[in-house]
């Protein structure tokens, strides 16, 4: 079996959204990991009805939206995916009744749901200068790397969660699925409390950057986040983004200082180094250090001003409504983004800095890779080629391996019971 790097088509082709309806049936038939997906959604089949009462939503061509679908088993779900070839699959909550029976029911309530997080690059438009809106490059993606590290450590260390699935959204963001049983059974107030705990940013007002406020001492979770972001601040904010070089960026830096007198003095000093973010930041730090050492500390709010500013420009921008919502729908892993054609692949949070969103394969790339592999190995005979599953012939293989490893660890926790042998062997 060749390594996935050998099978990948190195030159990524431009994706044409108009051909997506023709490609999706092939993708779902040959590449979508149906068996692993069912293993995840059924949670080892140790919890009654956890799969059969789960809501699945399909978005079809021309934005036809089908909600409250539910299925009895993997085969039924797989057949429906083949039949509909959805542009997007969304995963909802597990309900107290089968979602497909919701009509006429007055008692339908969500009873279980993964704790989910959604981070979108557009929420960084207030601080990134390289791109805006739906555009993403490797420079601004570093903000996502920080977000992944900060949240992953907080969820594991502060809440004890272990089974986190990180997924690229297909265009400009990342999703995190916390799949521990304790997380799935959280009620709405508990989800809200976790979301608020992790959301340390407060609105700074129109035209300014969201702020972080530290009072008498730094909370241990904020201190841990600062330990992660501080070494990266210069590279990302001062060099890659050069945030303070333009007047609007300098204004956002000055807005970090709430005391008008101090802000006025600082503004005068920074006028001597305009246009260079690194020099501006050096003067900013020196200004407040001089205030501290001189004893001219007119406002206790400047005690952590440097730390607050670094965090304000780097801390994760969370969509907390997604996390708080018990029955919020979220795009499934391995979907194809309809505009970019890219696959929503899982990635390893421990090496998030190596993940390149611009190099994620499109559905077009994957199908070309399968064809290229088959053509190259024709001499070995049709029987030999058919024994190798199609996804193993493509650059999606890495994402599938990460998903498989996540499932393996998750299945080890199901009441001490292993998954059925047929599922563990997974001859896919």
Give catalytic residue positions: 55, 118, 120
Contact of 257 with 266, CB cutoff 8 Å: yes
Contacts of residues 46-49 at CB distance under 8 Å and 24 or more positions apart, as own/partner, are: 46/414, 46/415, 46/417, 49/94
Instruction: Report whether 178 contacts 213 (CB < 8 A).
Output: no
User: Sheet of 173-178: strands edge to edge?
Assistant: 115-120, 173-178, 164-168
**What gap in Å lies between CA 210 and CA 228, rounded to an integer?**
19
Asked whether the beta carbons of 300 and 314 are under 8 A apart, the reply is no
Cα 290 to Cα 242: distance, rounded to the nearest angstrom:
25
User: DSSP labels for 202-219?
Assistant: E---TTS--EE---SS--
The tokens of 280 are what? 């501006």
Residue in the structure block whose two tokens are 């059924």: 42
Residue 349 token pair? 């949070």
Q: How far is it, in rounded angstroms, from Cα 142 to Cα 235?
A: 10
CA nearest neighbour of 299 among 259, 267, 265, 264: 259
Query: Token pair of 90, please?
Result: 């969304």
Alpha carbons 202 and 200: distance in angstroms, whole number: 7
Q: Going by DSSP bridges, is the β-strand pair 54-60/211-212 parallel, antiparallel, or unpaired?
A: unpaired
For the chain, give the number of residues: 428
What Cα–Cα distance (Å) separates residue 292 from each residue in 281, 286, 300?
Answer: 17, 10, 10
d(CA 266, CA 275): 16
Sole residue written with tokens 């049709």: 382
Closest CA to 321 of 191, 159, 177: 191
Rounded to 5 degrees, φ, ψ at 352 are -60, -30
């Amino acid at each position: 079996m060749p390594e996935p790097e050998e099978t990948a088509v190195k030159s990524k082709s431009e994706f044409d959204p108009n051909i997506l309806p023709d490609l999706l049936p092939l993708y779902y038939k040959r590449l979508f990991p149906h068996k692993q997906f069912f293993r995840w959604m059924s949670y080892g089949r140790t919890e009654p009805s956890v799969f059969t009462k789960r809501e699945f939503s399909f978005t079809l061509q021309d934005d036809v939206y089908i909600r409250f679908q539910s299925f009895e088993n993997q085969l039924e779900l797989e057949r429906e995916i083949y039949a509909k070839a959805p542009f997007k699959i969304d995963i909802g909550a597990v309900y107290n009744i089968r979602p497909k029976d919701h009509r006429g029911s007055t008692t339908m309530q969500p009873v279980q749901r993964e704790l989910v997080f959604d981070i979108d690059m557009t929420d960084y438009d207030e601080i990134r200068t390289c791109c805006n809106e739906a555009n993403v490059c490797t420079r601004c993606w570093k903000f996502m790397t920080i977000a992944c590290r900060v949240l992953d450590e907080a969820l594991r260390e502060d809440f004890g969660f272990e089974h986190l699935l990180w997924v690229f959204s297909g265009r400009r963001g990342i999703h995190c699925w916390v799949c521990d049983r304790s997380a799935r059974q959280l009620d709405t107030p508990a989800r809200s409390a976790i979301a608020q705990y992790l959301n340390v940013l407060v609105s700074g007002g129109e035209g300014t950057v969201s702020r972080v406020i530290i009072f008498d001492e730094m909370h241990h979770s904020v201190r841990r986040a600062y330990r992660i972001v501080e070494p990266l601040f210069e590279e990302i904010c001062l060099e890659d983004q050069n945030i303070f070089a333009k007047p609007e960026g300098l204004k956002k830096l000055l807005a970090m200082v709430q005391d008008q007198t101090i802000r006025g003095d600082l503004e005068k000093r920074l006028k001597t180094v305009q246009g260079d973010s690194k020099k501006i930041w050096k003067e900013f730090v020196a200004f407040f250090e001089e205030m501290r050492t001189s004893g001219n500390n007119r406002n206790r709010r400047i005690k952590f001003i440097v730390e607050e500013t670094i965090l304000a420009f780097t801390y994760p921008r969370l969509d907390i409504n997604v996390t708080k919502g018990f029955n919020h729908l979220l795009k499934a892993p391995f979907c194809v983004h309809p505009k970019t054609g890219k696959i929503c692949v899982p990635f390893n949070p421990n090496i998030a800095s190596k993940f390149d969103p611009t190099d994620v394969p499109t559905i077009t790339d994957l199908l070309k890779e399968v064809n290229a592999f088959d053509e190259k190995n024709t001499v070995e005979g049709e029987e030999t080629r058919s024994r190798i599953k199609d996804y193993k012939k493509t650059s999606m293989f890495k994402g599938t391996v990460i998903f498989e490893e996540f499932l393996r660890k998750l299945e080890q926790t199901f009441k001490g019971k292993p998954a059925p042998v047929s599922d563990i062997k997974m001859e896919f």
